[in-house]
Amino acid sequence: MDENVDRRTLLRVGGPAAVALLAGCASESDESDDETDDEDDTQSSPEVTVPEGVEPTETKPDGPEEITTTEIREPTVVTVAPPDDSGEETATPPEDDSGGETDQPIEASGEVTLWHARTNAGAQLFERATQQWAAESDSEVLLSQVPGSTFQAKLQSAIPSGEGPMLFEWSHDRAGTYESSGFLSDQGDSLDLDDETLFEMALDASAYDGKRIGVPWSAETVALYYNEDMVDSPPETLAEMQAIMDEHHDPTNGTYGLGFPVNPYYVSGFAQAYGEEVYNGEEDTLGIASDEVIRGLSVFMNELAPYMPDDPGIGTQLSVFREGNAPFYISGPWEVPGLGSEGINFGVTTLPTLPDGGQPRPYAGVRLLYFAAKMDRSENAAAGRTFAEWFATDERTLLSHANQGRYVPVHTGLVGSGQLPDTVAAFAEQLRDAYPMPQNPKMDQVWGPFGDAVTQTYNGEGDLESNLATAEEVIRDAWADY
């Protein structure tokens, strides 16, 4: 298997078999068509064996799609506006009477180099944004599109030799690996970012070991899809959700209450609903076998699993919702393009609250513009910082990405503003309760055992508490050799 595999792509493939690919591992997802899976979040993972029968079948809506060429493409400048082929409603961006220019030019000058792994509409959106930036400043951003499959290798060969970019776009959970490799630059002393403008969880994801190593602008997590032809009003509590599932669940006739792929990325919200994280990378504490995680996963196993198909894989779980045989489905924004193109009448809402104050807290992938080490010695570093801040806060740019690429912004002013497409707005609300995936490279040893424990329990192979205890032992053994 290629060394450069996107963790979330694998996690979404469905089940621990895919998770095993991570044996260590990430809102896109390259755009809506190439993104929303955080897609540029193609992250590298150690070389491992792909389990038989596991084949990635999805295109991340928010992130990079794999490109066939193996060469870095030259910087491009185009004026094409990507079409909206989402099949969903599109919010109207605010009117701009400035003709593409702000009243006051942005104080930035010099060339900025930026690498990304987007394709199709996502790449076009990036190009369009940099054109607007150039029109409003004395700076130019030179984009280079790098295949997601070779992105990590390109960074590893270019940055140490001083030939890499000033900025690059990727998911936040690679930060630990990048920092230990000397790829990043701390620009915190020269940035003006605060949680009144950007989500606090996103700002947390853009820092590592006390250093501000990038600027967050988009993220992804899982939320609750519902069939609007079967659900009059989306549920706010688990009890309300169960009442609706009871109306439709009839396995003998091929209908179910819920479709929900059983793997660690998807079920993390329930595992972490009662105040403990599966793994806290910042504090380096493992909570996978804690009472709180057991309690949250018990809700999933006892209150939701009985309404689901026996096959835990994503293919079966998605198909029951896609074919109109289940009122609910739990997944991320990467499903929006496919479901929309098939004409399914669906909505998205936040995950329901659980008994005794349980609040689902799923993992999130945050898309960053990373500051590469080249920023430390570039005379144009100020332009790089200013562009990154502008990109993360310019509402016109963010709305274009949300409307045409289904990227979910982490800009506080847009959430609840009524300007985002309904589905994007729902995922943005879910992000308020999400945990950024751990940046600590030790998380790589958590995904596989965690996924095995959940799937084995779902399949009736042992009890939850024993399976999680075994997972903890396997993880700690792996860490001992880390």
pLDDT in tens, 317-334: 999 999 999 999 999 999
Average pLDDT of the chain is: 83
Calpha distance 296→301 (Å, rounded): 9
Q: What pLDDT was estimated at residue 314?
A: 97
Q: Do residues 138 and 252 share a domain?
A: no
| Whether 402 and 319 share a structural domain | no
Shared domain check, 176 and 206? yes
> Do 281 and 402 have their domain in common?
no
pLDDT band at 104 (very low <50, low <70, confident <90, very high): low
* End-of-domain residue from the set 363, 386, 416: 363
366-401, pLDDT tens digit by residue?
999 999 999 999 999 999 999 999 999 999 999 999
Task: Give every strand in the sheet of 258-259, ordered side by side.
Answer: 258-259, 328-331, 223-227, 346-349
Instruction: Please tell me the distance from the alpha carbon of residue 411 to that of residue 417, in angstroms, as a whole number.
Output: 11
The mean-pLDDT minimum among 102-106, 126-130, 375-379, 430-434 falls in 102-106
SS3 track for 122-135: HHHHHHHHHHHHHH
pLDDT for residue 29 = 38
Token pair 């078999």 is at which residue? 17
Pairing mode of beta strands 137-145, 106-116:
parallel
406 domain-assigned? yes
Share of the chain above pLDDT 90, in %: 73
Q: Are residues 227 and 350 in the same domain?
A: yes
For the segment 16-38, the average pLDDT, to the nearest whole number, is 38
CB 77 within 8 A of CB 132: no
Q: Are residue 275 and residue 395 in the same domain, yes or no?
A: no
Q: Is residue 172 part of a domain?
A: yes
pTM: 0.82
Residue 338 identity (one-letter amino acid): G
**Based on the domain organization, do 254 and 322 belong to the same domain?**
yes
Q: Are strands 167-171 and 363-371 parallel, antiparallel or unpaired?
A: antiparallel
Where in the sequence is the domain holding 209, given as residue range(s)? 106-221+365-436
Instruction: Look up the CATH number of the domain holding residue 355.
Output: 3.40.190.10
Beta bridge partners of 110: 139
What SS3 class is residue 200?
helix
Task: Indicate if 195 and 279 belong to the same structural domain.
Answer: no
**388 and 337: one domain?**
no
CA angle 29, 30, 31 (to 5 degrees): 90
* 387 and 416 share one domain: yes
Say whether both 154 and 238 belong to one domain: no
Distance CA 397, CA 90 (A): 15
Those residues whose C-beta lies under 8 Å from the C-beta of residue 81, and which sit 6 or more positions away, are: 124, 128, 404
pLDDT tens profile 230-255: 999 999 999 999 999 999 999 999 99
Residues 119 and 204 reside in one and the same domain: yes
Question: Number of folded domains in the chain?
Answer: 2
Residue 39 clears pLDDT 60, i.e. is over it: no
